[in-house]
Structure 1
Amino acid sequence: MTKIDKHGEVFRADRRRFLRGAATAGISAAAAALAAPAFAQEALNNIIAAPQRGNWNDQFDARATNAARVATNQPILSLQTLGDIQTAIASYSDIAGRGGWPTMPGNAKFQIGMSDPAIEILRKRLMVSGDLPKEAGISPAFDTYVDAAVRRFQARHGLPADGVMGQFTYAAMNVSVNTRLGQLQTNLGRLTPLANETAQNPRFVMVNIPAARLEAVEAGGVVQRHTTVVGKITRQTPILASNINEVIFNPYWHVPKSIIKKDIIPLMRKDPQYLTKNKIRLFNAQGQEVSPESVDWNTDDAVKLMLRQDPGKINAMSSTKINFNNPYSVYMHDTPEKNFFFNLMRFDSSGCVRVQNVRDLDVWLLKNTPGWDRQHIEDTIKSGINTPVELTDPVPLHFVYITAWSTGDGVVQFRDDIYKMDGAAELALGTNT
């Protein structure tokens, strides 16, 4: 509980820190411009003077030579990332001092093969942020250079890297450099205590809520990454620190009272067979099973009952439930609804965290628990028998809210401020809509 309170205090200060950081960045940029007016435009002048290259007819593919890899095995919660985010802050301060980047006009869905005067502005925008090499030059062509640069930009912002200029790519590009600088400073404050704490842990799991991603970290490197589904805006996944102490195979799902009230009761009013179809049984306070027909679903009486779903493929947690002590009654789990993992923004749970390819995580969590190798795990799941397993070595767990970070090589990552914790309206891009 102390850890949760400590991290919560850091987050409560984030909005104030962001606004101070953004204001400071603006003042610094203005001072730099006054001190050296010509210097403020140097970045764009260099771009404009660059050789004209990269037209549609050129026979090359820039995808293979794009500057820096976005993927890395460096953990977000690491001392290395602290250093890298400080480097990113210095870089973005420099960009701000040079006048920032141009705003992309309109909303045309440019893609490879197209030509438009606005693509010249797009090239300048991508060059200033380091996504497009200056050698690509300025031209109205959306060629393979620009396609690769847009894909890199999209990947850095958690968007589908398809090279198509869509609504959310425009929105991300038009966030000002001062706002991005403030966002980096805010997240440096969030990361600092977490990175120092996890540096003491040989193994830990991190769920980054805005990215809807999980990292399993061992010996200073990411050994597994998993796509996740996290809480809706109205039912947010909490920020917390705990220890994973149990994995349950073929779990029962005890339906939370909030879901009974908000979801089950309305569903039963529409379809009286809903509970039966989904193998959810009702029990009273004495542990006696109650028939759904005996409940008045036009009232909230069902909240007084315990609703439990039997293990199986349609169980809300499918094969696995991962437990850890916390005051929010949340956990991580498998899901029968695998299609949600392929959504652009995965904010669809009631606060718990659904994990893609969770069996790989099960194996890693239980590697130090005797008798629980991959084959035994698979056999246990296949049996359909509810089987709780206590970890021999509990694994530290962190649910965090990190919307900006850097992992070296000039790759700076940003994510949609989905829960609006960063203190700037333009950072909530609305990608959940």
Structure 2
Amino acid sequence: MSNKSGIVALSRRALLTGAAAAAGAVAIAGQAVAQTAIDELISAPKRGNWDDQFDAKASRTAAAVTSNTPMLSANNFIYIQQAITEYQAIVANGGWPQVTPSVKLKIGVIDPSVQQLRQRLMISGDLPRSAGMSNSFDSYVDGAVKRFQARHGLPQDGVLGEFTLKALNVPADTRLMQLNVNQQRLQAMMNKPLEQRYIVVNIPAAYVEAVENDRVALRNTAIVGRISRPSPTLDSKVSDVILNPYWTSPRSIVEKDIMPLMQKDPTYLARNSIRLIDAQGQEVAPETIDWFAPKAPNLMFRQDPGKINAMSSTKINFPSADAVYMHDTPTQGLFNKLMRFESSGCVRVQNVRDLVVWLLKNTPGWSRQEIERVIATRVNTPIPLADEVGVHWVYITAWSAKDNIVQFRDDIYAEDGNAQLALQTNIGVEKPAGSVEDDILPQ
């Protein structure tokens, strides 16, 4: 994957006025009363023999991991240097213990291995040392596990499942190596000036940041390229947004996927509104093509706009040597997956219309209402941007955007130089023809 060797460098708005504001004030007051009652219950002197092992305040006050400081920020270079210093000290002091439970650890469990877990979380700064040592998985430990999970891009359920346990047991010296590798990547990126407004796709983290004036305006979940068809790193500028885009299949998809599908089901193209277009712009009937021929026909495979379009409502265009882009998708359920390495190289964006509103906010005539109106027409509509917005796809598996909050992700494309960091390699293998991709249509 030579394209990696030169790596370079919110919430929704709600307007509450009038009666809505008054209603909100009443609701807040009600919540305050309810919280007071809960606090009184927690503080009651006689709550049972588990009192000394349970403190709900620990879960409620778990440190926030997210930050509105963008990943590509000069501040982050300072934070990652700070993290390297801290991890050097951890390694010099012997690292942290392996956690080897005989039962699944979660809140309420009492097991000797919880002491290992407590020590592990204390050393990495996820659990306050004042929590002490015991065999009890109490709410202090629950809050610490959730903080650890958030720092590693894992579901914050407080349970030591397979992926959480594997992440816990990556040795401290391996994490230090990962920080050093990513410091070099960030340093290379910082050598290039960034735009006032830009989009960052962090491929290993599978998320998108929209950045303005060095602050994160939006952060969206993404789906990126699987191991066999990786998303490239790149630096470009957004040229236009297309509402109701046509989808034109890459030649590789035609050969690897559509040809075998047509051999099995001659109605596949028609059912998915895909038309064959020749060099003169004329439509060609699918039944005139030999789908068992050694080579795919030299035709354009173009899908009409619509709900089943592979890019759904939106495509975000920018110049790219790899002909990749960002887009919507009809398969929204895939955003709920833990391992979002599903595409053929392009990047799907959850809540992409929020991102489009942000992209077009300086382009006259394109309010949220107008964008939604045009999407509803199903008419292909390209919109050139009026201002410059950069787009940067990066490969960063370790960073810190907040003091003492170090984030790690799996080295999904094996770029960091240690096989133990690519833990979740059971996903992203080559899929058979007909599988659902961002660049392939549902059957």
Alpha-carbon separation, structure 2, partners of 1:193 and 1:299: 48
CA contact (8 A) 1:56 1:113 kept: no
Alignment deviations for residues 288-325 of structure 1 (CA, whole Å, 9 cap, x no partner): 21222222222344342210000001000011111000
Alignment deviations for residues 360-380 of structure 1 (CA, whole Å, 9 cap, x no partner): 111111111111111111111
The 1:182/1:100 distance shift into structure 2, 3 A limit, reads: same
Aligned mate of 1:267, from 261, 281, 284: 261
Aligned equivalent of 2:162: 167
CA contact (8 A) 2:76 2:399 kept: yes
Aligned equivalent of 1:83: 78
Moved more, 283-292 or 418-427: 283-292
Aligned mate of 2:327, from 319, 333, 336: 333
Aligned equivalent of 2:365: 371
Aligned equivalent of 2:122: 127
3-state SS in 1 of match to 2:239: strand
* Aligned positions of 1:414-429 closer than 5 A: 414-429=408-423
CA contact (8 A) 1:280 1:308 kept: yes
* Aligned positions of 1:319-398 closer than 5 A: 319-398=313-392
The 1:395/1:382 distance shift into structure 2, 3 A limit, reads: same
Counterpart check, 1:64 vs 2:72:
no
Counterpart check, 1:194 vs 2:189:
yes
Counterpart check, 1:92 vs 2:87:
yes
Q: For residue 182 of structure 2, what is the amino acid of its counterpart?
A: N
Alpha-carbon separation, structure 1, partners of 2:4 and 2:417: 17
The 1:58/1:159 distance shift into structure 2, 3 A limit, reads: closer
Alpha-carbon separation, structure 2, partners of 1:311 and 1:381: 10
For structure 2, the 5+ residue unaligned runs are 9-49, 428-443
Identity of aligned residues (%): 56
Q: For residue 130 of structure 1, what is the amino acid of its counterpart?
A: G
* Aligned positions of 1:12-51 closer than 5 A: none
Alignment deviations for residues 303-358 of structure 1 (CA, whole Å, 9 cap, x no partner): 42210000001000011111000110100000011011110011101100001111
The 1:411/1:112 distance shift into structure 2, 3 A limit, reads: same
Shift in Å at residue 58 of structure 1? 3.0
Counterpart check, 1:281 vs 2:275:
yes
The 1:6/1:283 distance shift into structure 2, 3 A limit, reads: closer
Aligned equivalent of 2:139: 144
Q: For residue 353 of structure 2, what is the amino acid of its counterpart?
A: R
Alignment deviations for residues 3-27 of structure 1 (CA, whole Å, 9 cap, x no partner): xx9984358xxxxxxxxxxxxxxxx
3-state SS in 1 of match to 2:345: coil
Q: For residue 84 of structure 1, what is the amino acid of its counterpart?
A: Y
Alpha-carbon separation, structure 1, partners of 2:102 and 2:286: 52
Alpha-carbon separation, structure 2, partners of 1:74 and 1:264: 43
For structure 1, the 5+ residue unaligned runs are 12-53
Q: For residue 395 of structure 1, what is the amino acid of its counterpart?
A: V
Counterpart check, 1:224 vs 2:221:
no
Superposition RMSD on alpha carbons, in Å?
1.8
Moved more, 269-278 or 81-90: 269-278
Aligned equivalent of 1:25: none
3-state SS in 1 of match to 2:324: coil
Shift in Å at residue 394 of structure 1? 2.7
Aligned mate of 2:197, from 189, 197, 203: 203
3-state SS in 1 of match to 2:296: helix
Alpha-carbon separation, structure 1, partners of 2:426 and 2:154: 12
The 1:373/1:237 distance shift into structure 2, 3 A limit, reads: same
Shift in Å at residue 193 of structure 1? 2.6
Aligned equivalent of 1:257: 251
Alpha-carbon separation, structure 2, partners of 1:112 and 1:56: 14
Alpha-carbon separation, structure 2, partners of 1:60 and 1:373: 44
Alignment deviations for residues 61-84 of structure 1 (CA, whole Å, 9 cap, x no partner): 411122x31011010000000000
The 1:195/1:158 distance shift into structure 2, 3 A limit, reads: same
3-state SS in 2 of match to 1:392: coil
Number of residue pairs matched by the alignment: 385
Aligned equivalent of 1:15: none
